[in-house]
Chain A
Amino acid sequence: MDSTIIYTVAAIAILASLGLAVFRALAGPTVFDRALAANAVGNGAIMLLAVVGFLAGRPEFLDIGILYALLNIIATLAVLKFFRYGDLGHAGEEPVD
């Protein structure tokens, strides 16, 4: 019973933080604000997944949370690499001409 209250409060708090991150993604003046906000929304989705899993009595949802974290990392890396090099197929450092 107590843990249900705790999880519900945590879910509401996560929803609030999601709302703040979405606001930053919409209002963010630079690309980095938006990339960070996208990452924060992904993290919020992971935490919401975990909390809802415990609320529904199925903590196996945590495995899917791990998958979300991996996806989040790949998506953020892709966005930042694109912004740095302008090309996803770039090998890394700038070639010396």
Chain B
Amino acid sequence: MVLLTMMAVVTIGVVRLRNLFAVVILGGIYSFLMASVMIMLDAVDVAMTEASVGAGISTVLMLGVLHLTKMEEIKPAHTPLLPLFVAVVTAGGLVYGTIDLPPFGDPSGIIHQNVAPYYLQNSITDTSAPNVVTAVLASYRGFDTLGETVVIFTAGIAVLLLLKGRRPLPASGDGKAKSRTRRRRRRK
């Protein structure tokens, strides 16, 4: 609860602050708080992913983006009322959806009655994998995992193609390369 309050405070800070560098740092802080909440919910693997992706990689990526833009965010030209309304309606729908959920960690919930007992009892004899999560991901839902891997592979290829296409542009001396050197000189 305390952690969630702190996350809300950090979120308001992210919205209010106009210095993008501080916003990036606050995003890292938010990820670490989120990882702590995940640990409280006993989902350590999700917390590990959140910390590595949210606090590690995306902070570095955001800093790389910040290098290409300005440090200060300009004032928005339109009023934030319509986005606020959409967000509040969406959040209300999500909260309404959580009312029907079974209590957290309830072993008699519907989701724990369908196929989970079969997995827990037969995964070693079926797949001889000692970890049940591995058995479910790689064997019982193997096609699902294959599809995810194909999606990630395609995304990786697309990113590589984009980066390769970008490479010759700064060498021909266009505006972006010039502004980069100018900024570096100014910092000196």
Contacts and interface: CB of A to CB of B under 8 A. Distances in A.
Interface residues of A, number: 38
Contacts of A67: 48, 51-52
A82 B55 contact: no
Interface in B1-40: 2-3, 6, 9-10, 13, 21-22, 24-26, 28-29, 32-33, 35-36, 39-40
B20 to A, nearest CB: 11
A49 B25 contact: no
B21 A25 contact: no
The majority secondary structure among interface residues of chain B is helix
A15 B22 CA distance: 22
Contacts of A19: 2, 6
B48 to A, nearest CB: 6
A85 B188 CA distance: 9
Interface residues of B, number: 37
A65 B21 CA distance: 27
Interface string A47-72: 01100100010000100100110011
A67 B32 CA distance: 13
Interface string A7-50: 00000000100110110011010010011011001101100110
